Copies of this chain bind each other. A is one copy, B any other.
Amino acid sequence: MVSSVLSGMKIAVLGGDDRELILVGELVRMGATVVVCGFPRERVGHGAFALNDLEEACKGAEVVILPLPGTSPDGVIRAVYSEQELKLTERAISMLAPNALFIIGSAREYLKNWVAKRGLKLLEVAEIDEIAILNSIPTAEGAIQIAMEETDFTIHGSKSCVIGFGRVGITMARTLKALGSDVTVVARNHGQLARAYEMGCKKAEYSELQEIMNYTNIAFNTVPEMILDRTILKYANPQVLIIDLATQPGGTDFEAANNFGLKAILAPGLPGKVAPASAGKILADVIPGLIIKELVQLDKNSLYA
């Protein structure tokens, strides 16, 4: 029976937003003892414990889950429903169970050190294909929503370009194409461009980007490098809308864009903003499987410890 799979396991969920609340519900349903920190009591569903003290929450936890956006450089955890600042301390980590599993979107250096020092298992989930690809769906829809709100023309019949053809770029291109846009995919890798062609998009290399931006109506960047720089923007269609989906600080020279009078929007973290229910369901679908997989591996390893 599914609902006892995590039976008896103590899991601490520290901070986050509506997505984590959906995940917490699933973990409870699967039998875990879940302690939540950074949410008011009334938001936390039946069966989980809400604590104010983060160190208390960590005590003895075999799994600790932080939100996808992770922490600030000095350890502050994103916790939209918390009135007080939620800060991760080395002391809190020292209170986790030995061999505990530490799950976070991506970990900063200081955190990697803390975790390594105690021999904890670190799982950075933002880069796990399954999560990143599933999250590309709300990301693309959020980008479409912004495009619809910020333009006075339809996506259908527009000329769009998608820069980068990885997990988000593929979904973005498919979605634009489906809505009737004339999509050009800009990428370095010829295999990726072949796939873009197969999907019905036009393909271009970076050397053509300046020319493409000259007539593009909406540009979506997914590459976390300075791509839409001053040189490119200088010759861009004055009416272009740039939506930058790459992780902060994005791949656009926003100052240059501003100087040239171009509308450019940095839009990170869309899944939690535009579709928290869907994005929460992704976590609830994937995280428990990852926990089971990791803990089974830990068990196996312990045989030879």
Contact = CB atoms under 8 A, between A and B. Distances in A.
Nearest to A273: B152
A155 B163 CA distance: 24
A287 interface: no
A154 B275 CA distance: 6
B277 A153 contact: yes
A129 B199 CA distance: 15
Interface string A166-210: 000011001100111000000001111111011110000000000
A277 B152 contact: yes
A200 B180 contact: yes
A247 interface: no
A15 interface: no
B171 A175 contact: no
A191 B154 contact: no
B144 A148 contact: yes
Interface residues of A, number: 48
Nearest to A131: B194
Interface string A256-281: 00000000000000000011111000
A18 B18 CA distance: 40
A129 B277 CA distance: 37
A195 B195 CA distance: 13
Interface string A136-168: 111001101100110111111100000000000
Nearest to A129: B191
A97 interface: no
B152 A137 contact: no
A194 B190 CA distance: 23
A122 to B, nearest CB: 19
A148 B198 contact: no
Contacts of A134: 194, 197-198
A133 interface: yes
A137 B154 contact: yes
A19 to B, nearest CB: 10
Given A154-B278, A170-B195, A198-B134, A190 B129 contact: yes
Nearest to A180: B200
Interface centre among A134, A198, A200 (most CB of B within 10 A): A198
A287 B10 CA distance: 58
A85 interface: no
Contacts of A149: 145, 149
B178 A198 contact: no
Nearest to A158: B278
Given A144-B148, A175-B179, A194 B130 contact: yes
A245 to B, nearest CB: 15
Contact of A156 (B128, B157, B190, B198): B198
B130 A193 contact: yes
A118 to B, nearest CB: 28
Contacts of A132: 191
